[in-house]
Amino acid sequence: MFNKIKSIIYKKTDFGKTRYLNYLYQYDLKQFYKNSVMGADNNKVLPTKIRLIAHAIEKGLSLPCPKPGFGKKKIQELIALNEEYKGCTEQIDMQVEELVKATVRTYAEFQKKNNIDVSYIPQKYFEEHSSIQVGVGEFEIKDQNNFSEIAYARHSSRNFSERKISTEVILDVVKLAQTAPSACNRQATRVYACINDSKIDQIMKMHGGLNGFNKPAVIFVIAGELNLYQNEFERNTVFVDGGIFIMNLLYALNSFGILSCPIIWGSEPDMDGRLETILNIPHSHKIVALVVAGYPNGKKYKAALSPKRKVEDIVIFK
């Protein structure tokens, strides 16, 4: 009798159903906190801190109008962290030093061209050439014939023209992105395509990560319909489905000659609430990320080079 009641409580009540989900979220929380920059030993996460600053500098250089003199504090911090990392006995990220050198050198070249003093940067950062290229590249919109060309031709761009994108083109692009696989073909991803001028302004204002970008023609909010997920084992599937869809969307946009950049979404209650209000998104749609998009000015466009890690450094054969 007691076991029957217990089974009813665990299987049928909110208390029972949320207990295991709660345990799994606690498991996620501990794993993330212990190993991410939030809680791990500094020497383990130094390369992450360095990569984040190097990226911020490179992104600053790739914006439509980089401000002469920007980033001095960041460069000083980058150099200090790099020196600290060199002193660590165990170095797991062998690309970091090259990345720092290339970033510092490219940054200094930009500042010197604008007559900004960079004498605070130690001379040794200019002595050896780095094998990595960072900074800004000029790319061309071209037809691509195979997947290798398609993949290597995509770059996140933050430079858009004022040309609008028609709703017909947006539907064609999203239809192409719908070729993405999804868990049990449930196709939970929903695409809010914001083309309204004043709403785009409101979103750009509330999202710090869009500072310095040209105004995009469209802001896509990629969300997942939570009603389509069954249980605790699918608690992260909305992000997997959404992430795969976003990658397809970026390629689809590129194939229509449209530039794009994925934009982080932190899933904080206040920010979710504000975006839900601006675009009238129901709370059952979990916001995964944003994608900003727009046509380039002509056939050529500017984007950060964003070097990739060596393939040997990310593949772990077993």
Residues that bind ligand FMN (CB under 6 A): 55, 59, 155-156, 158, 209, 261-264, 289, 303, 306
Nearest to ligand FMN of 82, 157 (CB atom)? 157
Any idea what the Cα angle at residue 315 is, between residues 313 and 318, rounded to 5°? 125
Residue with nearest beta carbon to ligand FMN: 209
CB of residue 289 to ligand FMN, shortest distance in Å: 5
Nearest to ligand FMN of 58, 121 (CB atom)? 58
CA distance 132 to 115: 25
The b/e string for 50-61 (b: 16+ C-beta within 10 A; e otherwise) is bbebbeebbbbb
CB of residue 301 to ligand FMN, shortest distance in Å: 12
CB of residue 120 to ligand FMN, shortest distance in Å: 27
Nearest to ligand FMN of 58, 97 (CB atom)? 58
Q: CB within 8 A of 220, min separation 6: which ones?
A: 191, 192, 193, 194, 249, 290, 291, 292, 293
The b/e string for 181-196 (b: 16+ C-beta within 10 A; e otherwise) is ebbeebbbbbbbbbbe
Question: How buried is residue 250: exposed, middle or buried, by Cβ count under 10 Å (0-12/13-18/19+)?
Answer: buried
CB of residue 252 to ligand FMN, shortest distance in Å: 15
Residue tagged 């031709």 (tokens): 153
CB of residue 204 to ligand FMN, shortest distance in Å: 12
CB of residue 2 to ligand FMN, shortest distance in Å: 49
CB of residue 262 to ligand FMN, shortest distance in Å: 4
Largest Cα separation within the chain, whole Å, is 83
Nearest to ligand FMN of 51, 101 (CB atom)? 51
Nearest to ligand FMN of 37, 116 (CB atom)? 37
CB of residue 221 to ligand FMN, shortest distance in Å: 13
Nearest to ligand FMN of 59, 101 (CB atom)? 59
Nearest to ligand FMN of 239, 256 (CB atom)? 239
DSSP 253: H
Residue tagged 């212990």 (tokens): 34
> What residues pair up with 303 in beta bridges, in sequence order?
137
Structure tokens at 41: 């030993």
E strands, the chain, in order? 136-140, 189-194, 218-225, 259-263, 285-294, 300-304
CA distance 242 to 228: 13
Nearest to ligand FMN of 63, 121 (CB atom)? 63
CA distances from 77 to 50, 120, 139 (A): 9, 12, 31
Name the amino acid, one letter, at 314.
I
